[in-house]
Amino acid sequence: MRRKGFLIVLSGPSGAGKNSVMNAVFPTIPNLKYSVSVTTRPPRKGEVDGVDYFFRTEEEFDELIQQDKLLEYATFVGYRYGTPKDFVMEQIANGNTVIMDIDIQGASQIRQKMPEAVFVFLLPPTRAELEKRLTLRGSDAQGEIAKRLQKSWEELQHVVHYDYFIINDELSRAAEQLRNIILSESSKVSRIDLAELQSLWEGRG
């Protein structure tokens, strides 16, 4: 039976493990699509343009805003991030589930434009564990880590605006929880075509 597609918005402190959790879930759910963000941040080692992000200049980013091509955009630690609108809308129209990984500012804009989206907050088990992960990653200077930790604490206050929260104490368990949420949301009555359901059930479909 055909169901309406929907958008999953995943937020959480830098270092919470958003990418690892999403990567673990992708192979297990058909019709799950990743919304690639646009950013003015320079690529980290190993990041590929068009796969991890669309890496754009400040001028190119301004142009996307002016052409109303972004569903949301926000600034985080000096760099801008945004979500290309067309991709998300097309996938949802085709009945697919789209997942995106954005900060709380971006999530807040999405909430206003698409209140029917599903908002998930991913949290590392403790502040100490988060600090360890950020340090181990080695991609940020010490001053930047301190900034990110402070930001994380502020972000945690916004969990109340999210639908679900997941504590990433163990990757496989966190991924299973995200998977449960996506599958469960697919069973929402609000996402089915009731006329089609009744017709199928009567055997006239």
Interaction site with its own copies (CB under 8 A): 1, 121, 123, 125-128, 153, 156, 159-160, 162-167, 177, 179-181, 183-185, 187-189, 192, 194, 197-198, 200-203
The sign of the torsion formed by the CA atoms of 104, 108, 113, 114 equals positive
Nearer to its own copies, 58 or 154 (CB): 154
Tell me the closest approach of the beta carbon of residue 12 to its own copies, in angstroms: 12
Tokens representing 19?
């990418």
Q: Reduced to 3 states, what is the DSSP secondary structure of residue 116? A: coil
- In the complex, the smallest distance separating the C-beta of residue 159 from its own copies, rounded to whole angstroms, is 6
Q: Which is nearer to its own copies, 30 or 203 (CB)?
A: 203
- The residue (of 68 and 202) whose beta carbon lies closer to its own copies is 202
Beta carbons within 8 Å of 52's beta carbon, 6+ residues apart: 36, 43
Q: Write out the two tokens for 100.
A: 């995106």
Closest approach of Cβ 40 to its own copies, in Å?
30
In the bound state with its own copies, the residue whose beta carbon lies nearer, of 75 and 199, is 199
Nearer CB in complex with its own copies: 16/100: 16
Smallest gap from Cβ 123 to its own copies, in A, equals 7
> Is residue 165 helix, strand or coil?
strand
Dihedral pair phi/psi, residue 138, rounded to 5°: 70, 5
Q: Of the two residues 86 and 202, which places its CB atom closer to its own copies in the complex?
A: 202
> Considering the complex, what minimum distance in angstroms separates the CB of residue 106 from its own copies?
18
We find the least distance from the C-beta atom of residue 162 to its own copies, in angstroms, to be 5
* Beta-carbon contacts of residue 107 (< 8 Å; ≥ 6 apart): 9, 11, 72, 119, 161, 162
DSSP-derived secondary structure for 28-76: GSTTEEE-PEEE-SPPPTT--BTTTEEE--HHHHHHHHHTT-EEEEEEE
